[in-house]
Structure 1
Amino acid sequence: MNRPARWRLLSDLHLGVSDDDPRRPGKMLPEFLHHQVLEASGPQQHVVFVGDTFELAGFAEDESLTRLESILARHRETFQTLRACAARGVQLHFVCGNHDVELARPSVAARLSSLLSPVEPGQIRVHPWFLHVPHVLVAEHGHQHHAPHRIPELLRTAVSGTDELDLPPLAAWHAQPSSSRLSRAGAVARACLASERAERRVRELAYGELLQAESLRLELDPAAVRDLARLSRFRTVSALPRTATRMVLAAAGRSIASEEAPAAAGRVARTLEAHGSGVAWYVSGHTHRALESALEACPTRYVNTGTWCSDVRGRGPDQSDRRAFPYAVVDVARDGNTSGGLRYWRPDGG
């Protein structure tokens, strides 16, 4: 028999040290948590932030710690409400995204835990790669399936807190905003070559040992974890043109949405099925396109939790109504059956 639980999942708040987003995710999140979580009763509650919760990437370790504290201090109401949730027994999960990959550092994860739940640190869990609830759901940010943002050796950060990870191509472009376009393009080219080398290292014995350890944390067969790690791969010949397109559009103040998420979701779900570890739900973010759909040749249901910031790229209600905030709900019954899907929360209760 399973323990009944309710999972709420949301992503891409992009909370930074300022609060200038017109959609004000740092103001909306506490209201959501108060109405949907703190005032709720019933089964065990989990809140999952599916990546890019914070603007926290590209910093050295000490800078990461300082910046995390600055962000929480700037969003004081969010900080206090998250603490209240943890104190109430709500399990808070933070899945790392490409904008807050620094959370994977052991020291940064520990600092987040001590800030939000100083008495019961186990109430805060950081997932460097993805969250797996056996037979229920998998939640990952999705950037690992998107070559311009992919970090092939992601688990090295989680294990050793290393500063040796190379920036993915788009991060290399944005890391030098004051440099000339030529020098930034050179940084992107070097990042592509570094990503190619990292992809080769992922297939070596040393990284296999990290995947073996990760399989224990994820409660998955090691072979399944190895296959999942190799589902997506960085290739310069295909990634460089797509990166260049995004660079040009970014310079013009425009963005494009990735269409890769549903295809990647299908690959993940079918790989889990093949290893006898199928899940009812696959949840991701990253694309800023909130949607729910079936997956091809697989019973798993796909949900993308969109974004709570102003960069909405989907065609759902949040595109026309900027006071509609997407999230996913997954309810687990005592018999193991699940229900739920994509939802929209409005601060007026609509």
Structure 2
Amino acid sequence: MSGAARWLLLSDLHLGVTDRDPRYPGRMLTGFLRREVLAASGPRQHVAFVGDTFELVGCSGDGSVARLESIRARHPGTFQALEECAARGVQLHFVCGNHDVELARPSVAARLAALLSPAEPARVQVHPWFLHVPRVLVAEHGHQHHALHRIPDILRAAVNGTDGLDLPPLAAWNADQSRSRLGRAGAVAQACLASERAERRVREPAYAELLQAESFRLGLDGVAVRDLARLSRFRTVSALPVAATRMALAAAGRSAAGGKAPAAAVRVARTLEAHGAGVAWYLSGHTHRALELSLGACATRYVNTGTWCSDVRGRGPDQSDRRVFPYAVVDVAPDGGTSGGLRYWRSDAG
């Protein structure tokens, strides 16, 4: 990448077919886009949604498109503002999260692009795994490093266009809450088996070909991409005890994650550095805890973009003030240098 640019990154809006969230993330995003993006001048702008932008869990291919249409009907102002951004030349990026992994399906990604930029669909890019800007940043939702949310063979849907997206275990538990606890436990057991099978598939030669295709899109060496794909793995015997611990801590009103960067962020940064592809910034969401800090010995700085929904779990100002929303800025200078970090936007600011 060359030339100056400004990246604005946010995550976890969880836009659905209703608008009942007390923080009204869709309405707030409309104001943010109009004041911080459409009213801005300067270098080329990129707006990146780092996962869980939409609630699409459990939908088939056609069902995901229909759900997307319903979300658009419920949030017309939001979609209009995004369409205006694309029309102004702003590049829109959508990284798949565990709640909207269905965007990885080519038919769903194409429909999203048609809704937001009918004249120039290329203004809307969907990133099934992660977003990579050479030497600048890597942005991924983070669920692929959390076993109960992990979808091991996501590229089967994105590259091959298959409709075969298995629900990860935690999504299987939450998919049908009208079922008995025993029925939901059975769904989790089936999802665990499906995840184990998927982990075996990603170690077969056919998946290596998908990783190679993905390496071209990411602009990374194929060996580096394979090494990144090996950083996390689902294993039932370790995932379930971790889940039980998290549930016990939650019941006791305690958090399993403090003010530390996830271990996966360090592993990703070090892997990229080992392949001569280090980046200045690593960004993720998923935990709903806005956070910025260094990654120790790595040159990479970590930012978690938090959430715009009411399920705030961090200790930032957004915890006590519903008018405050976290996002990240990464400014790229003409010489390739970067600056930025975690920011908070106030909906009532002048």
Which range, TM-score by smaller chain?
Answer: over 0.9
Partner of 1:279: 279
Deviation at 1:196, TM superposition (A): 1.6
Partner of 2:233: 233
CA contact (8 A) 2:201 2:207 kept: yes
Deviation at 1:157, TM superposition (A): 1.2
Partner of 1:146: 146
What amino acid is the match of 1:205? P
CA contact (8 A) 2:249 2:256 kept: no
> Which structure 2 residues correspond to residues 161-172 of structure 1 after superposition, within 5 A?
161-172=161-172
TM-score norm. by structure 1 comes to 0.96
Partner of 2:211: 211
What amino acid is the match of 1:13? L
What amino acid is the match of 1:316? G
Deviation at 1:180, TM superposition (A): 0.9
Deviations 1:281-313 (A, max 9, x none): 000000000000000220100000000000000
Cα distance in 1 for residues equivalent to 2:28 and 2:306 = 15
CA contact (8 A) 1:142 1:261 kept: no
Deviations 1:109-157 (A, max 9, x none): 0000001000011110000000000000000000000011000001111
CA contact (8 A) 1:148 1:242 kept: no
What amino acid is the match of 1:107? S
Partner of 1:243: 243
CA contact (8 A) 2:261 2:302 kept: no
Cα distance in 1 for residues equivalent to 2:254 and 2:74 = 27
> Which structure 2 residues correspond to residues 327-346 of structure 1 after superposition, within 5 A?
327-346=327-346
> Is residue 326 of structure 1 aligned with residue 326 of structure 2?
yes
Cα distance in 2 for residues equivalent to 1:261 and 1:291 = 8
Partner of 1:35: 35
Partner of 1:292: 292
SS at match of 2:299: strand
Deviation at 1:176, TM superposition (A): 2.3
> Which structure 2 residues correspond to residues 1-350 of structure 1 after superposition, within 5 A?
2-244=2-244, 256=255, 258=257, 262-349=262-349
TM-score norm. by structure 2 comes to 0.96
Cα distance in 2 for residues equivalent to 1:51 and 1:33 = 17
Give the 3 Å change call, closer, same or farther, for CA 253–115 of structure 1 in structure 2. farther
SS at match of 2:315: coil
SS at match of 2:94: strand
Aligned length: 349
Deviations 1:197-219 (A, max 9, x none): 21121111010000000000000
Cα distance in 1 for residues equivalent to 2:114 and 2:194 = 35
Give the 3 Å change call, closer, same or farther, for CA 189–208 of structure 1 in structure 2. same
CA contact (8 A) 1:291 1:306 kept: yes
Give the 3 Å change call, closer, same or farther, for CA 253–45 of structure 1 in structure 2. farther
Cα distance in 2 for residues equivalent to 1:209 and 1:173 = 32
Cα distance in 1 for residues equivalent to 2:249 and 2:168 = 18
Give the 3 Å change call, closer, same or farther, for CA 246–70 of structure 1 in structure 2. farther
Deviation at 1:244, TM superposition (A): 4.1
Give the 3 Å change call, closer, same or farther, for CA 261–294 of structure 1 in structure 2. closer
Deviations 1:217-239 (A, max 9, x none): 00000000000001011111110
Deviation at 1:262, TM superposition (A): 2.3
CA contact (8 A) 2:261 2:295 kept: no
Cα distance in 2 for residues equivalent to 1:226 and 1:71 = 35
CA contact (8 A) 2:327 2:342 kept: yes
Cα distance in 2 for residues equivalent to 1:67 and 1:254 = 34
CA contact (8 A) 1:257 1:287 kept: no
Deviation at 1:187, TM superposition (A): 1.5
Identity of aligned residues (%): 78
Gaps of 5+ in 1: none
Deviations 1:45-75 (A, max 9, x none): 0000000000012111111101001101110
CA contact (8 A) 1:169 1:243 kept: no
Cα distance in 2 for residues equivalent to 1:301 and 1:249 = 28
CA contact (8 A) 1:257 1:289 kept: no
Deviation at 1:163, TM superposition (A): 3.0
Cα distance in 1 for residues equivalent to 2:193 and 2:297 = 35
Deviation at 1:254, TM superposition (A): 7.8
CA contact (8 A) 1:170 1:243 kept: no
What amino acid is the match of 2:288? H
